[in-house]
Each structure stands twice: as C-alpha cells, then as structure tokens.
Structure 1
Amino acid sequence: MTASAPLGPLQFRLVLLRRMADHQPGLVEDARHEPGASLAGMREANRRWQAVLRAPRGRGALRRYRSVLGEPESSVRRRTGGLECDVLLWPLPLWPGLRFEVTAGPGGAVWNEWLVRAPGTAGPELRTAAGLRPWSCTVDEVAGAFAPARPMEGSAPARWALAFTDPADGRPHVAEFTWGLFQRLLPGGA
C-alpha cells in the first residue's frame, strides 16, 4: 500500500485486525497473511485510518465508510423507539458469515459500528460459557444466548463487554468483544 493509494476494504480489514491483535495475536497473524499484508502494512493502514478520523475537515462518519468500503451490500431504515436510523451492511471477505454494520442517525451521524452475523447465516449454538470461541460469535449472539446479559463499557475504542452468568454452573463471566466480534472470556462481573 502506498501513501497515495486510497484506503479500501483490504486496508479497513487491517484496521479491524489491528485492534483485535491485543487479545488474539495468533488469529490476527494468520488473518493478516491471508490478504498478504505485512505487519508494517497493518500499522500503516491503522495510521491512515486514524488520520482520516481526526482530519479537521474530514468527511462525515457515514460518508467515510462509504468512501472506504464502497456502496453497502444492503441498507435499511429502522425505527428504534421514537428514533429512525439507517443500518448499512458491508461484506468483509475475511469473515464471510459476518457483515460490518454501521447504524447512522439523522444527517449521517454514526451511532454504532461493528461486525454482525450476515442475514440468513446461522450463528453458533451457544449453551454455556465453555462454548464461546474467539471470533465465533457477535455481541448480539452472546447477549441473546446468555440473557439477561449486562452491557459494560469496553476497555478501548471499538471494544464492548457483556457480563453474564453461565447457566451450566451459575458462575459469572465477562465476554469481551472488539468491533463486535468475541475475543475472550474473563471470570467475574455478572
């Protein structure tokens, strides 16, 4: 990737992987090799993405995603309570069963951005905490399987956590996610 080349879907995947490397360096290393990207390329993609985010006269958040990822695979209008939002989905080849989802409010303000299960694609059957595997499930899937899960603040941008009790043994756990994808399970917190 050269400095003058525009950011695109490959570089965006590297941005997602960069944040995931904190918890799953082995999976990230394997995934990084799939598109043939170097460690330096991953760092450069992240540096450029951060520059786009912080640009003083940058594009609006939703326009930024369209610019990098192209036109979404699907876009629907959804009502949540008294608010209407747009939900846009983009495929990312590294995770064929998932989509990158951006939820945007009026004027293109991005409310949420993360990986979700692709429509019509079955997720894993989650019955106990022992069944959680890194990169196997999304925030929504864990929240639904272990209701009532309690959302918690993540440890960094693009991170989320859910506290829940394992129905198998009654022990509390915290599931950590990066960009909406499960990364690791910690004891306690429910």
Structure 2
Amino acid sequence: MPRPTPTGPAEPFTPLHFQLVLLRRMADHNPELVETARADLGVSVADMREANRRWQAMLHARGGRSAVSRYRSILGAPERRLTRTVGDLACEALLWPVPLWPHLRFEVLLSPTGAVWNEWLIRAPGTPGPSLRTLADLTPWSCTVDEAARAFAPARPLEGSAPTRWGLAFAAPDEISGEPRRVRAEFTWGLLQRWTEI
C-alpha cells in the first residue's frame, strides 16, 4: 500500500538553519566552540545534521534555484549592497547579518553577469576589526581571511580542502621571541579556524 503524501508545506529553511550549516563545517576544526554556539541557539546535534542535509539537497537539486535566489529566500533582502572592484571589474556584494557573529556579515560576491564568485563571512562595514600582531592573536573565530591577509602581508592564498574552506600562508611573529614563523592558516566560510606551522 503506498505511503500517504504529506499535504502540508515543508518547514521553511530559515536564517537559524543557515547558521547551523555554517557551524556544521566549522565543527571539524573547533567542536567545542560549535557545541557552545549550538547550545546558545537552543538546537540539538540532530537539528544541525538535518539542516546540513537539507542544505546539501538544495545545492544538488536538479533545476534548483540560483545561489542568489537561494540566499534571498533564506535570509531575506540583503542588509546592504556594495560595489567591490576585482581587478578591472566592478562587482556587486550582497551582505546579510548573522546573529551568531553580530560583528560579521555574510557576503555573496557577484560577477558582472550575476554569477556568484564568493560566499563567506566578512567584518561588518564600519565595525573595528581585531588587533592582529602575533600568532597569539590568531585564535579560532577571531578574524576573517581579509583581516589576516592584511595584518600579515604578504600572504599567499592556498587551496582549501573543501569548497567552503580557504587557506593562507604567511609569516607572523612569535608572541614570546618575536621571531617570525611561517604558518598556514585555515578558514571555513571565511572565518579563521586554526593555524599550523609550515
């Protein structure tokens, strides 16, 4: 006998679910921070897994929405729209607030043709960034890719281990000796997760 088809609408995918997607990727490197954030949101591990499952299904659905349409449907209208210059091109950046990180914004960078070029967390415009002077300042979730690259220039981009991950190689002073050490910093969704010496 066939199973009945649900008649009610599926539960909407909300900004809360999207934050769980961000946390799910970060749990690989910082499970304790993710556990605290998850508890603050009042959701279970199962909730986080289910949000990620639904997100992946949306990403891989045949004939699904474009990336921009997907973000608009989940996060609503962007809080801000900015123009960013990439090489000789003027690109549009759409910014949304992320309650878990009130001083950050989720940025979707669009090419002149409207294709999504980048999706990550950045410092909210007008919000002071962290003071990054030594390796001791590079704590998990303390800074974004751009902030680390500026603080410890010149930084070399490295390929990430997944589509939502980025790496940077640079030299930063040791907090005790002051001697520069070469490190690889790893970022998930644009937010620092850890660094290792190279």
Q: TM-score range by the shorter chain?
A: over 0.9
Shift of 1:106: 3.4
Q: Which residue of 2 aligns with 1:76?
A: 82
TM-score for the superposition, normalised by structure 1:
0.94
CA contact (8 A) 2:108 2:118 kept: yes
CA contact (8 A) 2:96 2:107 kept: yes
SS for the counterpart of 1:47 is: helix
CA contact (8 A) 1:103 1:110 kept: yes
Q: Which residue of 1 aligns with 2:193?
A: 183
Q: What is the Cα-based RMSD across aligned positions, in Å?
A: 1.4
Q: Deviations over 1:133-172 (max 9, x none)?
A: 1011100000000000100001112000100012431210
**Aligned with 2:15 (options 6, 9, 23):** 9
Shift of 1:84: 2.5
SS for the counterpart of 2:131 is: coil
Q: Which residue of 1 aligns with 2:148?
A: 142
**Aligned with 2:137 (options 108, 111, 131):** 131
Percent sequence identity over matched residues?
Answer: 65
Query: In 1, Cα distance between the equivalents of 2:180 and 2:83?
Result: 39
Q: Deviations over 1:110-154 (max 9, x none)?
A: 100000000111111101112111011100000000000100001
CA contact (8 A) 1:18 1:46 kept: yes
Shift of 1:80: 2.2
Query: In 1, Cα distance between the equivalents of 2:49 and 2:179?
Result: 41
Query: In 2, Cα distance between the equivalents of 1:108 and 1:39?
Result: 35
1:92 aligns with 2:98: yes
5 Å-filtered alignment, 1:1-190, equals: 4-167=10-173, 168-188=178-198
CA contact (8 A) 2:89 2:112 kept: no
Q: Which residue of 1 aligns with 2:3?
A: none
Q: Following superposition, which runs of at least 4 residues in structure 1 exceed 3 angstroms of deviation?
A: none
CA contact (8 A) 1:163 1:175 kept: yes
Q: Which runs of 5+ in 1 are unaligned?
A: none
Q: Deviations over 1:74-104 (max 9, x none)?
A: 0123332232321011001100000000001
Q: Which runs of 5+ in 2 are unaligned?
A: 1-7
Count residues in correspondence. 187
CA contact (8 A) 1:162 1:175 kept: yes
Q: 1:24 to 1:3 in 2, by over 3 A?
A: farther
